[in-house]
Structure 1
Amino acid sequence: MIKGLYETHIQVSNLENAISFYTQVLGLKLAHQDKNRRIAFLWMGKDKDFMLGLWEQKENLQTRHFAFSVDKENLLNKSVEFLKNKDLMPYNFLKNENEKPMVFAWMPALAIYFNDPDGNQLEFISILEGEGKPELGVLSYEEWLDKTL
């Protein structure tokens, strides 16, 4: 019955700033904005494939986490530079000051993190081929290749 996740919603402190960040910095497309309710909806991927909802919340802002699907080559070779060029600070799951994507061996998946202006934790993720190896934990892509090839 379920074939995927269509949309997710997050709280933002300033709707216009958030729209600017998600459209101009990350390249999402504004689908609809309701200025009376202080909400906006953005398309991800091809039009109407996926949606992100932004809800302005002036008090008691609750940050969230979600991940954008990215192909492996872009994640490995372009994601960190892309984020830095947008004045975003990439970090790995371990938050050990290493800016390289890391592998969650149980999935397996490659990921790098960054935050939006409100502190929502965003992630670029790419599912890797092959079976998961939970016993390997979280490791660098190079370590993953050494242990699985």
Structure 2
Amino acid sequence: MITGLYETHIQVSDLESAIAFYTEILGLKLAHRDETRPIAFLWIGKEKQAMLGLWEQKENLQPRHFAFSADENDILQYSVDFLKNRNLKPYNFLKDGIEKPMVFAWMPALAIYFKDPDGNQLEFISILEGEGKPELGVISYEEWVLKTKN
């Protein structure tokens, strides 16, 4: 019955600024803006493929986490520069100061994190080929390649 996740919604402190961030900085497309209340909907990827809802909340923001699907090579080769060129600070799951994507070996998946202006934790993630290896934990991509070559 369930084939995927279609949409998620987050709280933002200023709808105009959030729309600008997600469209101008990250490249999402505005799908609809509700003129009767402070809500906007953005397409993620192709139109009607997936959606992000932005709900303006002036007080008691509750930051959330969600991940954008991305191509493995794009994450490896471009994600850090993409984020830095937009004045966003990339970080890995371990938050160890290393600005490189890491592999969640149990899945396996490659990921890099960053935050939006309201503190929502965002992620670029790509599922990797092969079987998961939970015993490896969270490791660098280079370690993943070395330990799964055979």
Identify the TM-score tier after normalising by the shorter chain: over 0.9
Q: Distance in 2 between matches of 1:133 and 1:46?
A: 32
Q: CA separation in 2, counterparts of 1:61 and 1:32?
A: 22
CA RMSD across the alignment: 0.5
Q: Percent identity?
A: 77
| Paired residues, number | 149
State the 1:36 CA deviation. 2.6
Equivalent residue, structure 2, for 1:43: 43
Code of the residue aligned with 1:11 in structure 2: it is Q
State the 4+ residue runs in structure 1 displaced beyond 6 angstroms: none
Q: CA deviation at 1:34?
A: 1.3
**Cα distance in 2 between the residues matched to 1:96 and 1:20:** 30
Paired residue type of 1:22 = Y
- Kindly indicate whether residue 88 of structure 2 is the aligned counterpart of residue 88 of structure 1: yes
Distance 2:61 2:35 in 1: 19
Give the unaligned 5+ runs of structure 2. none
Pairing of 1:68-147 with structure 2 (within 5 A): 68-147=68-147
Residue type of the partner of 2:79? S
Distance in 2 between residues matched to 1:75 and 1:100, nearest whole Å: 9
